Structure 1
């Protein structure tokens, strides 16, 4: 019994490694969402247009989405400590460049450097968990790992709003610098290599396919809110992205050492988890766009108050992520995932029905309920899905999930912003009424996406029997 208990204990060194990589990943997510509230200030200071300033987010997401898929190759080729050090130093360098940037091009270069660091860091935390945490505790630690995605998007706008209002947008970067240095020192002490690395050929044509795929799709979806769905600005990049995906898929299935093993998708249970993971992230990022706009334009709240109202929901979701992981470790994945996704979907339905007259208190209560559901289910979808893969394919599965998570953010935001913008362009009503109407229709779409995620997971969990 003592030996079994000892084998199930998580080593302090592993907890330190997860903390170090988690701090770095959290910093990336916070800056990504905090910068969105700085756009008006940056436009005035650097004399750039809305279309130009949005490249801060679009280019960042594109680079992260291109780096994450090759994380399985990086894991096989380089040690985890080397990857961690590279990611951390890139991030610190990008922060210093942005903190000192005298013009917009240098600010954009700094964000690009940070994107390379984030793209390496995001999968790293889960690779450490999957490889070095006892199987009976993987659910708990994955839940803790997903705190990054649960709390980061809600903390970011509040953090950015306070600093832009009280100090300067540059402090968004400078304040995080000490935390990254702490992360660097902890990582140097705690990150260890459990598996040998191997020299492996890197397939650059496949990398080109990844860049065309995510570059085209993210840019195309990002343009939906300002251009017609059938315009060349939207359709052209999306078609290019689809062609890039076809090329990348064909090449990956026909080369000896692909950048990422797409045969993971032949596992029906994993593919179902992957789709549900993607759909759930669409609802989360879509809702994180709707609520601040609704609170400001319909309920007449300030940007700061809107951020403060959303913040408790993020904290609750973060708190329930490890709770959901513990439930999975003890009772299996079906209970926390289906219960969590069901609660999230019912919460979206409640928002949909009340969208025309939702008070601040009702908004907060329903959002907290939604985040409880996300906390119970989101990290567990990843844990459960990766359990269906053999050890040699887990890194590839992790790469696919993290890559689609980035793409889902672009899709969810673009989808709801386009719906609300179209409603606001209509005549005959006040801006508040048009925003409420557009928000209700966007919530209907998210509700349907949430229901599809629940049905997909119900199907995927049933695959265990076959």
Structure 2
């Protein structure tokens, strides 16, 4: 059976947007290994420095929500250019930042660029690739983007160890210029005819909800349930209810909330969110454990993550093709069960695991986790009408970034230390890391319930 041909221009358009998204994720994941050094240089706590990742992911999440709107009013090239300019401006600010707070500001501007680039890559796939090849090209786009977390820790570790952390942002600039040249000549510049107005009220409500939720989690650093935590949690809940009600009543929706009527889509989204939260939590905590407990350098901490991340990226197209051939049930089942087994093994080893053990376990962890992660989004999109794919794309990408911020915040809470000596810090970090892995294992076990519900309610293949 002959497959419909995908033009080279579409392929290069995917590449251009994916490279810019790759650059954003590369800088985000590379920063994790620099935190012990940044803590010393800027005299900030782990709870403060982790906002370089948490706030970045939160801004990306909020920008993801706008992707469906911008897709309706801007050409793909225009969307790309907004993202590229924001990313480069933020990158330059980060290079010259004399203080932690200016560095954080630069990272937030870079997050705007990433927030435009990531959904654009998948929007090109959803709108230009036939359904018969959707899994393959989702795997192709995911491969490029997932190389970033594969290379990020190593890139950050080696560059910081040899040139200093500012070089992380200097070296990435030529990559963004290559992306610009590819995108300018290949991305479609035809502007849609939609006159859709931006739903400012809905955006403000969901923004308040997400920010309040992250701030509430951050307040748990005190170890007590304070009035501030309760108030922030209530604000998050009320604002989210307000957003849902406003979206239901409006003819101009920020995102189409009716897609949540599909129980299978909701379950696929929960599976997707679980795997992302745990992945970001482990990716944040592991370099801290490596440096603060095992006493490794930033370079070694980065290399621990490299084999697993590279293999995880390499199998992304394979997992996409697996969905095309087998549907969603088998890959999601194999991935979920494998993920649980790996997490149990990880939990048993965590209190005393050394460098080699971390490297090996992380390889298996990534292979199992990526199978559920890669298939869940495609499975969710398959549950809605083609005209709703842009909204589902925005939802999944928003959840990916927001839940990543949640995972990072939770990890920082588990591994925070109060010791004043290296020995005390090493012991407290090891204990917190072990507790984090056990907590994550329980969450993975719970996600099996969502898998069962998904398989009972899904309508797609």
TM-score by structure 2 length? 0.91
- Tell me which residue corresponds to 1:372: 367
- Tell me which residue corresponds to 1:457: 451
- Tell me which residue corresponds to 2:297: 302
Among 263, 267, 270, the residue aligned to 1:275: 270
Among 237, 240, 251, the residue aligned to 1:242: 237
1:76 equivalent to 2:72? Answer yes
- Tell me which residue corresponds to 2:166: 170
Among 396, 415, 418, the residue aligned to 2:413: 418
In 1, distance between residues paired with 2:424 and 2:40?
Answer: 27
Shift of 1:234: 3.6
Q: Is the 8 A contact 1:158 1:307 kept in 2?
A: yes
Deviations 1:400-427 (A, max 9, x none): 11111111112222223323438x77xx
Between 1:113-122 and 1:285-294, the stretch displaced more is 285-294
Q: Is the 8 A contact 2:414 2:436 kept in 1?
A: yes
- Tell me which residue corresponds to 2:225: 230
- Tell me which residue corresponds to 1:353: 348
In 2, distance between residues paired with 1:307 and 1:265?
Answer: 39
In 1, distance between residues paired with 2:429 and 2:124?
Answer: 44
Q: SS of 1:175's equivalent?
A: helix
Between 1:107-116 and 1:379-388, the stretch displaced more is 107-116
Give the unaligned 5+ runs of structure 1: none
Q: Is the 8 A contact 1:29 1:148 kept in 2?
A: no
In 1, distance between residues paired with 2:127 and 2:406?
Answer: 31
- Tell me which residue corresponds to 2:215: 219
Q: How many residues align?
A: 459
Structure-2 change in CA distance of 1:36 and 1:289 (3 Å): closer
Among 393, 397, 414, the residue aligned to 2:392: 397
Q: Is the 8 A contact 1:324 1:377 kept in 2?
A: no
Shift of 1:384: 1.0
1:157 equivalent to 2:156? Answer no
Among 381, 388, 391, the residue aligned to 1:386: 381
- Tell me which residue corresponds to 2:135: 139
Higher RCO (CA 8 Å, separation ≥ 6 residues): 2
Q: Is the 8 A contact 2:153 2:305 kept in 1?
A: no
Among 427, 448, 455, the residue aligned to 2:442: 448
In 2, distance between residues paired with 1:17 and 1:168?
Answer: 33
Give the unaligned 5+ runs of structure 2: none
Deviations 1:212-245 (A, max 9, x none): 0121112222343x32351245443333222221
In 1, distance between residues paired with 2:368 and 2:43?
Answer: 42
Structure-2 change in CA distance of 1:174 and 1:153 (3 Å): same
In 2, distance between residues paired with 1:107 and 1:303?
Answer: 20
- Tell me which residue corresponds to 2:322: 327
Structure-2 change in CA distance of 1:23 and 1:280 (3 Å): same
In 1, distance between residues paired with 2:253 and 2:149?
Answer: 33
TM-score by structure 1 length? 0.90
Q: SS of 2:249's equivalent?
A: coil
Q: SS of 1:202's equivalent?
A: coil
Between 1:370-379 and 1:45-54, the stretch displaced more is 45-54
